[in-house]
Structure 1
Amino acid sequence: MEISEWRQKIDELDEQIVRLINQRAEAAKAIGELKQKDSLPVYEPKREQDVFEHVRRANRGPLSNPEIVDIYERIIDVMRAIQKND
């Protein structure tokens, strides 16, 4: 493959990633509404650790587990903000 073809592939993958992140945000938003209704805290450290463990188990590389967790830390930060803002 040429560079332009790889870049096209990356663009297509980015579009899929954006759709999936938005789907995740919708789920987080719904959970936030339930938490608010039940007076539950937005921040749940145990759940976050469970997510990190889950993505480490799912990781097949080439990213390392610490790199995957770094990405998910940021995703979770954004999702937590969505839950707080509703």
Structure 2
Amino acid sequence: MISAKMRIRQVKEVEIEGLGERIKQARLDSSKSLEQICDEVGLSRTYWYDIEKETLKGALSIENLRKIEEVLGVSFGVNLEEDCDI
């Protein structure tokens, strides 16, 4: 008998107070230019500024947050798995 696979999707959004300001401060503390950071993360400068000002129309993806952390060499301590019930 062939075993079928089922995909499960988990969508979770959390609000982190002051994350935009912390990202901005990490950018300012970095030796990299905004243009270099955006190129490495794969985001436009407009989107980056929306992140810093916390004015995104949607949520920042965890993938983009991890890329930002990697490029800036910091961790913002966001862990969505802690509250996972699965």
Q: What TM-score does the superposition give when structure 1 sets the normalisation length?
A: 0.30
Higher RCO, 1 vs 2 (CA within 8 Å, ≥6 residues apart): 1
Q: What TM-score does the superposition give when structure 2 sets the normalisation length?
A: 0.30
